[in-house]
Amino acid sequence: MNLALFIPEIALLATAAIVILLDLFIEQKRWLAQVSISGLVISGGVAIAMWGGSYPAIFNNMLAVDNFALFFKMLFLGVAFLVILSSTDYVSKFSRFQGEYYALVLLATLGMMLMAATTNLIAIYIALELTSISLYALVGFLKDSKSTEASLKYLLLGAIASAVLLYGMALVFGFTGKTQLSEIAQVLQALPQTTLLASPGLLLGVVLLVAGFGFKIAAVPFQMWVPDVYEGAPTPITAYLSVASKAAGFAIILRVFFSAFGIPVWLSQNWGLIFASLAVISMTIGNITAIPQTNIKRMLGYSSIAQAGYLMVGLAAMGMASGISILGQSGVLFFLTSYAFTNLGAFIAVIAISNKLDSDLIADYSGMGKRAPLLALALTLCLVSLIGMPPAAGFMAKFYIFNAAVQHGLLWLVIIAVINSVISAYYYLRVVKVMWLGETASAEKVPSSGALRLALLLCCLGVLLLGIIPGYAMGLAQFAANIFVY
């Protein structure tokens, strides 16, 4: 085994350890952010250098080092970079445990990187737990009543989801006798359809896997935790949860459902339809419940449920043509990338504004267009992108993923999805309206730190670039999705 292929993960783990140790010795806590960022940069640099090559799997085939995994590693590292950048102000609110905060973010990132790479049910579970436990702690970091409640809720529901997932894995293992995804696929292909259909255990296992992963990506009906956790968690962590955690969930769904259950065709079409129905429910419920929200973090929480719905349109497309076409998969990858920039941008603007206002109520954003024109403009751009309107990234992402669905005979799903986008415009634009039309409560400017502004600028640039010249990123997504052909 070539340990060099594991350098991105090792670098991250080492950085996390260094940050915790440094925290004991130094007074200037801002160095911790800088050390974390340099760790991320090193890890990301190695991952970029590895991009495009073909490497053998490591750890007894438990971890794949393919371009799909590398794509997600770069995505997670980028997201963690922006989250840490935008945390630097926020973290000064905590008198203690700043080192742990950064270290936990790094560890969660490590877990997600492993999630994107694992090809074995057991390793999947371990990676998932590493991520989840780090996130449980991070959600409760504010230690006020809301944050604690959010953390407890996340922990309890997360534990149930883990149990469900584990049960699903056990059923699949019990039926096939394998934990390696490719071996599961071999067993399934060798069996005739009648045998498979006559074994409810296997099908129940698949459904439970969907449920377990559905919790991670916050799909309806596994979304109950979202609004409370999003509202209670420290805002940078909310941003992190809404983007990276969701992306990791999708990474793992893509890999598991393709590698283990991609063929036979009837099976993949069936889970494709499951995802199609989940997509419909998630979009509709997410959007409708977002309308009456008065807290912007809760609103973005519900909106992220709806966004998971759009993403699942891509999963449904993948199920309809598993192994034949990679449009659905690359659509999901591209959507996740643009969603990452968009949602992070929105949350960073929220961080900057609530630092000053100490409030997350939409009504308090009144007149923000005068008090902080650039922040308001950036938030407007991100919200427009979330609606899916050009020239922002969200439009291209939707165009690409809906295109995949139409190509695979899911025009009905696309029509439901586009109508949902219209509904979503209503509540996103309400925030825009309040910012630009509302009366200003005070004429005081809203200051923001350099790090925060840099992070926001990067996000906005990403949103615009992916919206206007998305060709290159789409190419990357397609290249990464190439593992999805037989």
Partner 1 sequence: MLGSGYLTTILFLPAVGAVLVAFVLSNRDRVIKWTAALFTFVPLALSLILFALFDRSPEAAGLIQFQERALWIAPINAYYHLGVDGLSLPLMVLTAFLGFLAVLISWKIHLRVREYFAWLLLLETSILGVFLSLDLLLFFIMWEIEVIPMYFLINIWGAGRKEYSAIKYVVYTLFGSAFMLAGILSLYFSTGSLNMVEIGQRGLGLVQSIMPAAPIFWLLLIGFAVKLPVFPFHTWLPDAHTDAPTAVSVMLAGVLIKMGGYGMIRLCVTMFPPVAQQYAVILVILAIIGVLYGAAVTMRQTDFKRLIAYSSISHMGYVLLGIFALGKVSLVGAALQMFSHGLVTGLLFAMVGLVMHNAHERDLRKLGGLARQVPIITVVFSIAGLASLGLPSTSGFAAEFLVFVGSFSSSLVPGIQVYTILGVFGVVVTAGYILWMLQRVFYGPPLEQYDGTADADVLERVYMFAFVAVIMLVGIYPAIITDIIKLGISPIAGMLGG
Binding site for partner 1 (CB under 8 A): 330, 384, 387, 389-391, 395-396, 399-400, 402-403, 406-407, 411, 414-415, 418-419, 421-422, 425-426, 429, 432-433, 436-437, 469-471, 474-475, 478
What residues contact residue 122 under an 8 Å CB cut-off, 6+ apart?
A: 62, 179
Q: 340 or 384: whose CB is closer to partner 1?
A: 384
Q: Is the dihedral of CA 157, 158, 161, 167 positive or negative?
A: negative
Whether omega before 221 lies within 30 degrees of 0, making that bond cis, reads yes
Q: 301 or 470: whose CB is closer to partner 1?
A: 470
Q: For residue 421, which amino acid is it? A: S
Structure tokens at 353: 């504004």
Rounded to 5 degrees, what are φ and ψ at 180? Answer: -75, 130
Contact 286, 308 (CB under 8 A): yes
Q: 81 or 427: whose CB is closer to partner 1?
A: 427
Contact 158, 215 (CB under 8 A): yes
Round to whole Å and give the CA distance between 349 and 258.
Answer: 37
Q: 258 or 402: whose CB is closer to partner 1?
A: 402
Shortest distance, CB of residue 205 to partner 1, whole angstroms?
34
Q: For residue 224, which amino acid is it? A: M
Shortest distance, CB of residue 412 to partner 1, whole angstroms?
9
Q: 205 or 286: whose CB is closer to partner 1?
A: 286
Half-sphere exposure for 66 (CA within 13 Å, toward CB): 20
Round to whole Å and give the CA distance between 463 and 460.
Answer: 5
Shortest distance, CB of residue 47 to partner 1, whole angstroms?
22
Q: 391 or 450: whose CB is closer to partner 1?
A: 391
Shortest distance, CB of residue 11 to partner 1, whole angstroms?
32
Q: 198 or 422: whose CB is closer to partner 1?
A: 422
Round to whole Å and give the CA distance between 288 and 293.
Answer: 10
Round to whole Å and give the CA distance between 9 and 114.
Answer: 8
Shortest distance, CB of residue 209 to partner 1, whole angstroms?
30
Contact 228, 150 (CB under 8 A): yes
Shortest distance, CB of residue 234 to partner 1, whole angstroms?
32
Round to whole Å and give the CA distance between 187 and 5.
Answer: 30
Q: 122 or 469: whose CB is closer to partner 1?
A: 469
Q: 363 or 415: whose CB is closer to partner 1?
A: 415
Shortest distance, CB of residue 422 to partner 1, whole angstroms?
4
Task: Give bridge partners of residue 58 from the DSSP assignment.
Answer: 63
Contact 159, 98 (CB under 8 A): no
Round to whole Å and give the CA distance between 230 and 322.
Answer: 34
- From residue 162, alpha-carbon distances to 109, 171, 213, 318 in Å are 19, 14, 9, 25
Shortest distance, CB of residue 365 to partner 1, whole angstroms?
16
How far the first Cα of the chain sits from its last, in Å, is 25
Whether omega before 390 lies within 30 degrees of 0, making that bond cis, reads no
Shortest distance, CB of residue 421 to partner 1, whole angstroms?
6
Round to whole Å and give the CA distance between 196 and 198.
Answer: 5
Q: Which helix (H) or strand (E) holds 183?
A: helix 181-190
Shortest distance, CB of residue 475 to partner 1, whole angstroms?
6
Q: 139 or 376: whose CB is closer to partner 1?
A: 376
Q: 37 or 313: whose CB is closer to partner 1?
A: 313
Shortest distance, CB of residue 122 to partner 1, whole angstroms?
36
